[in-house]
Amino acid sequence: MSTVTHLNPPGLHTSPAYSQATIAAAGRTLYVGGQNGTDGEGRISGGIAEQSRQALRNVLTLLEAAGAGPEHVAKLTIYLAAGVDPAAAYAASAQVWGPHPTAVTVLLVAALGRPEALVEIEAVAALG
């Protein structure tokens, strides 16, 4: 059972990829720090599609460690390095994230903490 209610009221644009807002039920909250497309050895490789998929796999790994899944996520924040094609990041992310729309903010930034990183993803999840 999900602990997150998705709000998409009439009068606002709707999308199968995200919710306009979410309500997290009372309980524990998980804050996932920014995840780059790093593998288990800390390496970052590939373009925006590969890095986006890996960053989301990292988020999913942390959710699983907390006993949660993408259905528990109330908010994602995605930072994309300047010059990155957001459409490529969205398409790659959908392959890993699946049909779990949530509130999402996407920001284009000048650079990320690691020069080779093209994407960084944060999550907030309601664990119940």
pLDDT over 90 (residue 90)? no
What's the full length of the chain, in residues?
A: 128
Query: How high does pLDDT run on average in the chain?
Result: 87
pLDDT at 20: 66
Residue corresponding to tokens 């988020």: 59
pTM over 0.75: yes
| pLDDT per residue as tens digits for the range 55-89 | 999 999 999 998 899 999 989 999 999 999 999 88
How far is the C-alpha of 128 from the C-alpha of 32, rounded, in Å?
Answer: 16
How far is the C-alpha of 66 from the C-alpha of 25, rounded, in Å?
Answer: 16
Identify the bridge partners of residue 78 per DSSP, sorted by sequence position. 106, 121
pLDDT at 14: 76
How far is the C-alpha of 115 from the C-alpha of 55, rounded, in Å?
Answer: 15
The structural domains of the chain, ordered by start, are 16-126 (3.30.1330.40)
